[in-house]
Structure 1
Amino acid sequence: MSATTHAVGLQGPKRRVVFVTLYEIIAIIVSSLLFMAIGQGAGASGVMAVVASALAIAWNVTFNALFERWEARQRVKGRSVLRRVVHAVGFEGGLALVLIPLMAWWFGVSLWQATVMEAGLLLFFLVYTYAFNWAFDRVYGLPASAQAMPAAAPAGAVVGAP
Structure 2
Amino acid sequence: MRTYKDRVRHAILFEIIGLLIFTPSAVLMFNQSVEHMGVIGIFSSFAATIWNFIYNICFDKVLLHFRGDVQKSMIIRLYHTVLFEVGLMIVTLPAIAWYLGISVLDAFIMDVAIVIFYLVYAFFFNIIYDYIFPVVSPAKAFGTSGSKSN
Deviation of the 1:123 alpha carbon:
1.7
Check 1:17–1:68 CA distance in 2 against 1; reply closer, same or farther (3 A cut): farther
* Distance in 2, Cα, partners of 1:84 & 1:134: 18
Check 1:64–1:104 CA distance in 2 against 1; reply closer, same or farther (3 A cut): same
Within 5 Å, which residues of 2 pair with 1:142-161?
160-161=147-148
Runs (5+) with no aligned partner, structure 2: 139-145
* Distance in 2, Cα, partners of 1:118 & 1:75: 27
What are the Cα deviations for residues 24-73 of structure 1, in whole angstroms up to 9, with x where unaligned?
11222223123311111111111221122211221233345556775973
Runs (5+) with no aligned partner, structure 1: 1-8, 150-158
User: Once the two structures are aligned, what percentage of the paired residues are identical?
Assistant: 29
Check 1:60–1:14 CA distance in 2 against 1; reply closer, same or farther (3 A cut): farther
* Distance in 2, Cα, partners of 1:52 & 1:21: 14
State TM-score, norm by structure 1.
0.63
What are the Cα deviations for residues 2-35 of structure 1, in whole angstroms up to 9, with x where unaligned?
xxxxxxx423x43432222121112222231233
Higher helix proportion (structure 1 or 2): 2
- The correspondence for 1:116, drawn from 104, 109, 117, is 109
Q: How many pairs align?
A: 136
- Asked if 1:73 corresponds to 2:60, the answer is no
Within 5 Å, which residues of 2 pair with 1:45-124?
45-65=37-57, 73-74=70-71, 85-124=78-117
Give the structure 2 partner of residue 156 of structure 1.
Answer: none
Extract structure 1 runs of 4+ deviating beyond 6 A.
none
Deviation of the 1:105 alpha carbon:
0.6
State TM-score, norm by structure 2.
0.68
* Distance in 1, Cα, partners of 2:104 & 2:84: 21
Higher RCO structure, 1 or 2 (CA under 8 Å, sep 6+) = 1
What is the aligned-residue RMSD (CA, Å)? 3.6
